[in-house]
């Protein structure tokens, strides 16, 4: 398993050394583990708002209909990806810390696993360039 280089200054932030082009693949792992889905911007639109080539925003909904957001930003100079997220409990502004933590940990872990790998089979762990 890859060693994660993660700095966690706050419960809702993860900073990980990663390849930016692996973000979407890592997001699918994190959303599955936290029982969260990514909502498309608009019907028929993509699942991500790209604020810039190095910043993306994902709107989220949990299995129990809590809403949330994940913002990912990339620093090309350091190859660090900063993940910020908040998922709220359904119908309230109360944060769902357990679900947010599961999402961020899952995305950060998968980003670290995929770093420097051209492709990886998630079932077998087989990797290549």
Summarize pLDDT for 35-66 with one digit per residue, the tens: 999 987 655 555 567 778 899 989 999 999 99
Q: Which two tokens stand for residue 12?
A: 């809702």
Contact 85, 71 (CB under 8 A): yes
Say which CATH number the domain at 89 has.
Answer: 3.30.310
- Which residue shows structure tokens 């350091």? 78
Percent with pLDDT over 70 in the chain: 78
Q: Per the domain annotation, does 14 fall within a domain?
A: yes
pLDDT number for residue 48 = 63
> Which domain covers residue 53, as residue numbers?
7-116
Q: Per the domain annotation, does 2 fall within a domain?
A: no
Paired strand residues for 67 = 61
pLDDT number for residue 6 = 41
Is the pTM higher than 0.85? The answer reads no
Q: Per the domain annotation, does 129 fall within a domain?
A: no
Q: Which residues of the chain have pLDDT under 70?
A: 1-11, 41-48, 119-123, 125, 128-129
**CB neighbours (10 Å) of residue 85?**
25
- Number of domains composing the chain: 1
Phi-psi map region of 96: left, alpha, beta (phi>0 left; psi -120 to 50 alpha): beta
- Phi, psi for 46 (deg, rounded to 5): -75, 170
């Amino acid at each position: 398993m890859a060693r994660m280089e993660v700095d966690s200054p706050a419960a809702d932030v993860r900073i990980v050394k990663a390849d930016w082009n692996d973000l979407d693949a890592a997001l699918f792992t994190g959303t599955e583990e936290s029982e969260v889905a990514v909502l498309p911007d608009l019907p028929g639109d993509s699942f991500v708002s790209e604020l810039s080539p190095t910043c993306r925003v994902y709107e989220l909904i949990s299995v129990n209909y809590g809403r949330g957001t994940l913002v990912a930003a990339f620093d090309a100079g350091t190859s660090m990806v900063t993940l910020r997220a908040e998922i709220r409990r359904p119908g309230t502004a109360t944060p769902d810390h357990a679900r947010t933590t599961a999402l961020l940990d899952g995305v950060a872990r998968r980003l670290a696993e995929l770093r420097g790998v051209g492709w990886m089979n998630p079932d077998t762990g087989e990797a290549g360039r």
